[in-house]
Amino acid sequence: MHRRTALSVSAALLVAAPLLSACSGEARPGTAAVVGGERITTSALQAQVKDVRDAQSRSDNAAQLVANSSKLERIKLSKMIQLRVLEKAAAADGITVSTKEIEEVLKSQLQQTGGAEKMEEIMLAQRVPLAPGQVEDEIRFQLLFAKLTDRYGEQKVLEPLAKAARQLHIEVNPRYGSWDTKQIAVGEYQTPWITQKTRPDEAPAGA
């Protein structure tokens, strides 16, 4: 994890049957997305958004933070889907991340950023804002990606990611946008979905 890498998957991804649709053709109520046959519920998505908004409201820069994350629902849904893509790709190669590894990285980040309060400020200000309770999942994301990159190399790591995304047959509720098969992201969010950081005060991952 000593370099910064931005990857955009260009492989064409398959779209499954309309699992999001009910018989009426409308999106299934309470479903934000379907990934690998499993629902990401609207309530789960809204909980992530609320955690960020609550944390932002405690900041002295609350208005600016909220203004800079106007499409937070879409951004958070993208990241929730991307994590599942990464988990599937890592699992296929027997790659795991332990609780101890996450704790060690978190401890290091807290030390380097100057404590929990400063770290929260940094995490809320990045392109994909993180509430305090979301940091450990982000660290897990980064560690899994780093191990997958070590296994395949920067150029070939796209292959297992694209394969995993195809196998998951991702669908998104139109309320949040459409699934972009090239960027592996939801809607108009154009920033490359994986960005490795070199320092804990840099944005952990874009989505």
Strand partners, 185: 180
Whole-number pLDDT of residue 189: 52
H/E element holding 186? strand 185-186
Mean pLDDT for all residues in the chain:
80
CA angle 4, 181, 11 (to 5 degrees): 75
How much is the pLDDT for 21?
A: 42
With a cut of 80, say whether residue 200 has pLDDT above it. no
User: What SS3 class is residue 5?
Assistant: coil
Q: Which residue has the higher pLDDT, 77 or 185?
A: 77
- The answer, yes or no, to whether residue 204 has pLDDT greater than 50, is no
DSSP string, 25-46: SSBPTTEEEEETTEEEEHHHHH
Residue with tokens 């804990």: 200
Residues 6+ apart with CB under 8 A from 59: 65, 121, 124
Averaged pLDDT, 88-99 = 96
Mean pLDDT for 160-181 is 86
Q: Which domains does the chain have, with CATH numbers?
A: 6-195 (1.10.4030)
Q: What is the pTM of this model?
A: 0.76
What string of DSSP letters covers 110-158? HHHHTSHHHHHHHHHHSSS---GGGHHHHHHHHHHHHHHHHHH-TTTTH
